[in-house]
Amino acid sequence: MLLKRYGCIAALVMLQGFIVRTIAQDLPIKRCATMEVLKISLEKDQVLKEQYENELLRIQKLAAERASNPGAREMATPVYIPVVFHIVLPDPTAVTDKMIDDQLNVLNTDFAGLNADSVNIPAAFKPLFGKSKIQFVLAKRTPGNLPTTGIERITTTQPSFSTNNNVKHVSTGGANAWNSTKYLNIWVCKLSGGVLGYSTFPRSATADEQGVVIYNVTLPGGSLAGYNDGRTLTHETGHFFSLYHIWGDDDGACWGNDGINDTPDQADASAGCHSGVVKDACNSTAAGIMYQNYMDYSSDGCMALFTLLQVSQMETTLNNSRISLTTSNGAVSPLKNADAEMVSIDNPVNRVCDTKFQPVITIRNYGALPLTSLDVNASVDGGTPVQTHWTGSVASLSTVSITLNAITTGANGTHGLKIQLTSPNGVADMGIANDTLSKAFIYPASITPPLTQGFELDAFPPVNWDLINADGSYTWERVTGVAKTGTASMVARNFSYPQNGQTDYLRLPQLAIADADSAFLTFQVAAAIQTNAGTLFNSWDTLQVLVSTNCGNTFTSLYKKWGGTLSTRNGITTTSFVPTASEWRKDSVNLTPYINKGPVMIAFANSTGNENNVYIDDINIYKKTSNPNLEASGWLITPNPSNGPVTVQFNTVPVNLKGISVFNSTGQKVAEKIIGNNASATLYSLNLGRYASGVYIITLVYSDHTISRKIIKK
């Protein structure tokens, strides 16, 4: 009888096809798409179809044998199956840990037959009430033997998923399954088409697609009224362990059923929430249909039971088709009681600016117990370690940043820093393999301008320069065959950069600018854009020149250009930009405010906007000292004679200067620069280019006097 009834189901699914219907006219949902997914999967893969059919026959036979032996119908003790929830949503934090905990509790309670609403099971069906020993626990170990909470949150750009299994693959916006022989994979996502969930039967799908998919609104506390008590997962997990829909998916024809002898015949899926005895065209018995069964389509509040033989069927499947789940170590934590892990050395990044510095590290409590104390030993170049005793409280698997006691480095050059953790919670570390990290750093000597760099040598970054590439993707690099002068330059390949908003730094050596009246940085830049320069709210590539007076801990921006102001090519470029000889621009940055300010660090910073490549060449840092005549008189006009451009230069910021006027030889005022009440510069530019050659008078107008000098216009 059992074999024949299963044969009807197989014939229906594999030969007759399956019609997906709305379960009730007033509900725009399809409670379950498992049979539709099964049909499509088997139609695509003949080998898989044969494997599924053979496995179905094997389970039929074993289930029949078990049904004939009352003593073997129940497992003796609970078996715990490791579960991983892959939450795949645009905002995966919308599904809280509590919702997952509540869902797992519903699943375990329903399988164990401990659900409080079982009191609603009609008297006629109470003798059939089954209680399974299959239980579920959140995974504590990843397939790579790392600790886990059993909850994986994946941020996706996909607004929803269908039943095509895209949610089960990273390549299509989902999450890859964990080893399905060791874990029950449950994907939680938004499902389209009104589907609330679907599942796989043993051998009905490839290993990387085995598991259950549910709509996140069906979780306990979800937003779908009537279907938010968590029983969609109970239903789909029944499929996972070889249960079919209680009415047999025959569209009301009365010849199909679920192959379980203690579930009554039923014409079609139930909808909503019935009460009392319900009969239909396929069942006119006194007890009626079992709309309380988890494998029907009733709303969550009306589901209450698996039958004895449904439980037997699921446990038979577990002990045979899914036996590997029973020996998985996925629910066993790899954590030991006391284990501190070195995660990273955060400071120094690449260099230090003083012989004495404080390392900053991040550590993780890789132990099962809270971490409350730790000894950290830091040494440079194998010297005597400096110990820091840390106390605090860090939960298991959480991290903390620790600033260590100061340590001293040696002379200028490259050095090695070693950090080692010991005595977590005052005991021997139980995982010494993750206790130690080492890092090379530079203590460079400060240099004085001039500094020039054209990237002609192979070494990149140049000696005593360094790169900060936080995301490990594209960064500043040396390129040959593209240059303003020589044969090489450096480039940031924003055209190919996969992410926006990533900033990469090329940091120059420490500079000591002294004994000068002014200092400047100049460089050649070439850039292009592939979006119209007038586009609002676009994410532009941005080039900055930054300066730091505290060894790179903080920076001040001295130069910042993006979009059309950065581009040196007219129009837009939709291919990877390579500049021609004429597509370079010389830009300048004033470093005068940093004279006699101690060592400073200059950095070129590129922030990505997926526009186009940015090239830099011919970096030049130089300083200027005052003209002796400037020191003597307090102000100069240069050049004199001039062919047009003129600079009025003061040795200090002039006090009470209101303006600068230019008069021709007849006393007529031909140009004027109004200074106002707050002169703040020592350099003022004028241009006599449009005036005739001859003698002119430049007059400084103060609040209480004037001063004049002659200049010759060539």
The residues annotated with a catalytic role in the active site are: 236
Three-class SS state of 619: strand
Q: Which ranges constitute the DSSP H helices of 321-402?
A: none
Residues 6+ apart with CB under 8 A from 318: 79, 81, 134, 241, 325, 326
Question: What residue type is assigned to position 386 of the chain?
Answer: V
Tally of CB atoms within 10 A around 298 = 25
Maximum Cα interatomic distance, the chain, rounded to a whole number of Å:
126
Give, as one character, the DSSP assignment of residue 54. H
The structure tokens 């990149």 sit at 460
The CA-CA-CA angle for residues 49, 55, 60, to 5°, reads 125
The DSSP H or E segment spanning 36 is: helix 34-44
Dihedral (CA of 538, 544, 547, 551) sign? positive
Percentages helix, strand, coil for the chain, rounded to the nearest 5?
20, 30, 50
Cis-peptide, bond into residue 348, ω within 30° of zero:
yes
β-bridge pairing 184-189 and 212-215: parallel
Question: What residue type is assigned to position 155 of the chain?
Answer: T
Cα separation of 521 and 519, whole Å? 7
CA 331 to chain centre: 26
The structure tokens 């693959």 sit at 169
Residue 74 · residue 315 · CB < 8 Å: yes
Cα separation of 434 and 146, whole Å? 13
Exposed, middle or buried: residue 37 (CB in 10 Å: 0-12, 13-18, 19+)? buried
Calculate Rg over the CA atoms of the chain. 38
C-alpha count within 13 angstroms, C-beta hemisphere, residue 547: 19
Tally of CB atoms within 10 A around 236 = 27
Residue 191 · residue 160 · CB < 8 Å: yes
DSSP string across 171-210: GGTS-PPP-TTT-EEEEEE-BSTTB-EEE--TTSS-GGG-
Q: Quick one: tokens of 632?
A: 């003597």
CA 671 to chain centre: 59
Contacts 24+ apart (CB under 8 A), 319-326: 319/75, 320/58, 320/59, 320/62, 321/55, 321/58, 321/59, 321/202, 321/203, 321/242, 322/202, 322/240, 322/241, 324/181, 324/182, 325/81, 325/82, 325/181, 325/182, 325/183, 325/184, 326/79, 326/81
Residue 85 · residue 209 · CB < 8 Å: no
Question: What residue type is assigned to position 35 of the chain?
Answer: M
Cα separation of 156 and 175, whole Å? 9
